[in-house]
Every structure is written in structure tokens, then in C-alpha cells.
């Protein structure tokens, strides 16, 4: 993020996003109250039930917008504090997400139509490393959450039992428990929110699911998006570019080429991005 006005603009943007989310929540609450009023004015049970169900949807949406507003406000507050102490690392939006989820480490993964990992944002290095392992090993909580469109979690020996490769590897990072919830709307999954070593009960809590839904509705699929989150996203574009090059060089499928890049990165203990960079620059050949 640029110095000076850049921080001020980011803080102002987060503040505006929070205000917009609160306004949308207020609108949804007004709609909910309207339908609740209509439900109370009718004696027909079927009509009453319809209005109450509509009101419930509006209140659920309002709750998501309020959660999004709190996340934005927290981010704005962190940016304000940081602007007075530039010697510290710039705050990440995902740090506030992790805190809201009851943990120090959280990661958000975005996937494409084939559910391949396209981008990630993490609150800290352990979360980033854990998501890199998922990408390299093609197994883990976020991957399962996006494929099943269901929450998943595992802890202790359960990590190794569920994910024979990922479990031991993530354990070496000092992580003993993981949980993930899909980022989905109307049956379409765009990614997953994963937490690492969360507080007891968080994985199955309504709050965790609501944070994921708020991010999906207000920040990813919302009309305005979220620049604070997008600034922190690491795109996998370079990796997929390198996979295309390897595919041509070795006359193999892009899928096989991508797996070769992942295997090379895992064997060297480096990121797939690093391997891809060397391939694209002509400094590494996998042939």
C-alpha cells in the first residue's frame, strides 16, 4: 500500500464500506419488520407463514451486512493505528477476520469453475503456509469444503486420518486443528474460509458460518466488492501460466503440468509461485 494518502484512502474506503453495509442492514431490517407486521395482520395461516419466512430471510441478510460492517470497521481502526506507526507491518484485512473467528490464523481461498485454487488471502504466515500445502498436495479442509459445499473440520490424529499428506505436513507447522466453511451462495461455491487452531466450538458455531456468508455476500459477490480484501489476495495466475508453458514443452495436459509444478515445489520446500516464476523466466525446466 502506498504511503501517505494511500493509507488515508484505504481507511476512508473501509469506513465507507462499513457505512454502506450498515445502511443495507437497516434496509433489510425495515423490510423484515414490514413483513412481520403483515403477518400479524392476517388470519390466514399460509399467508402468515409466507410473510414470516420472507422476514426471516431479510433478518438473516441484515445480520450478514452487520457482520461485514464490523469487519470493515475493525480494518479501518487497524489502518488508523498503523498510519501513526509506519514502522509496523501494514495490517491485513484477514487479521480482523481471524480475530472475529476466534483464532490468530485464518485464510480465504477463491476457486474457479473447476474448483481449482485461483487466489488466497491469509492473516499470517502459518495460515499462508497451510494453504500453500493444500495447493501443492491437492487435499485439505478448504478443498473439501469447496468440493462438498459443506463445513469440514479435523483435529489431532483426525488430521492425519482424513488427509494422509496434508495432515502430517500441517502438523509440522505447529497446527493441531483446522476447520473450513464454503463461501457459497445459491448453490454456487466461490471458495472457502479456513481457520487454524480455533477456540473450542468455533468450527461448529453459527458465528463462523455467518462470517463466511458475510464475506461472500458483501465482499466477494456484492456489487461493491472489497478493496481491502483484494489488496491482500495472492493470485495463482503465474502458476497457471507456467503450467501452460510446461504443457507445451512436454506435450502433456495442463493438469499434468500443474501437478508437476506442485510436486517440484513440495520436494524443494518452496512455494508453487517460486517454481512458476523460474519456469516463466526460463531458469527452470521440468523436462
End-to-end CA distance of the chain: 39
Distance CA 273, CA 234 (A): 10
Distance CA 213, CA 284 (A): 41
- Res 273: pLDDT: 81
Instruction: Grade residue 37 by pLDDT with cuts at 50, 70 and 90.
Output: very high
Q: What is the mean pLDDT of the chain?
A: 86
How many CB atoms within 10 Å of residue 55? Answer: 21
The answer on pLDDT for 164 being more than 90 is: yes
3-class secondary-structure state, position 201 = coil
> Which cell is 62 given?
441484515
The answer on pLDDT for 227 being more than 60 is: no
β-sheet with 188-196: strand ranges across: 152-155, 177-185, 188-196, 105-111, 117-122, 234-235
Instruction: Grade residue 129 by pLDDT with cuts at 50, 70 and 90.
Output: very high
- Report the half-sphere exposure of 158 (CA within 13 A, side-chain side): 10
Question: What would the pLDDT profile of 169-196 be if each residue is shown by its tens digit?
Answer: 999 999 999 999 999 877 788 899 999 9
Q: What is the pTM of this model?
A: 0.81
Mean pLDDT of 56-64: 92
Top mean-pLDDT range of 172-186, 200-214, 222-236: 172-186
Distance CA 202, CA 101 (A): 7
The answer on pLDDT for 257 being more than 90 is: no
> Which cell is 52 given?
414470516
Amino acid at each position: 500500500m502506498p504511503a501517505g494518502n494511500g493509507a488515508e484512502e484505504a481507511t476512508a474506503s473501509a469506513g465507507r464500506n462499513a457505512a454502506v453495509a450498515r445502511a443495507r442492514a437497516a434496509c433489510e431490517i425495515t423490510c423484515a419488520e414490514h413483513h412481520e407486521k403483515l403477518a400479524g395482520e392476517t388470519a390466514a395461516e399460509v399467508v402468515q407463514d409466507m410473510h414470516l419466512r420472507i422476514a426471516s430471510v431479510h433478518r438473516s441478510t441484515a445480520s450478514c451486512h452487520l457482520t461485514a460492517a464490523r469487519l470493515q470497521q475493525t480494518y479501518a481502526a487497524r489502518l488508523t493505528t498503523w498510519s501513526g506507526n509506519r514502522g509496523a507491518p501494514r495490517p491485513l484485512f484477514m487479521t480482523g477476520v481471524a480475530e472475529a473467528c476466534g483464532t490468530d490464523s485464518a485464510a480465504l481461498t477463491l476457486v474457479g469453475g473447476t474448483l481449482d485454487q485461483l487466489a488466497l488471502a491469509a492473516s499470517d504466515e502459518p495460515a499462508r503456509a497451510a494453504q500453500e500445502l493444500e495447493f501443492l498436495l491437492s487435499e485439505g479442509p478448504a478443498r473439501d469444503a469447496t468440493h462438498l459445499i459443506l463445513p469440514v473440520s479435523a483435529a489431532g490424529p483426525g488430521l492425519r486420518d482424513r488427509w494422509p499428506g496434508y495432515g502430517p505436513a500441517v502438523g509440522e507447522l505447529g497446527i493441531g486443528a483446522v476447520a473450513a466453511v464454503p463461501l457459497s451462495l445459491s448453490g454456487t461455491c466461490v471458495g472457502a474460509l479456513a481457520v487454524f487452531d480455533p477456540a473450542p466450538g468455533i468450527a461448529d458455531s453459527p458465528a463462523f458460518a455467518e462470517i463466511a456468508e458475510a464475506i461472500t455476500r458483501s465482499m466477494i459477490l456484492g456489487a461493491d466488492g472489497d478493496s481491502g480484501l483484494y489488496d491482500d489476495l495472492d493470485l495463482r495466475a503465474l502458476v497457471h501460466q507456467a503450467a501452460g508453458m510446461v504443457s507445451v514443452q512436454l506435450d502433456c495436459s495442463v493438469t499434468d503440468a500443474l501437478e508437476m509444478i506442485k510436486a517440484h515445489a513440495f520436494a524443494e520446500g518452496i512455494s508453487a509461485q517460486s517454481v512458476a516464476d523460474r519456469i516463466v523466466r526460463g531458469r527452470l525446466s521440468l523436462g
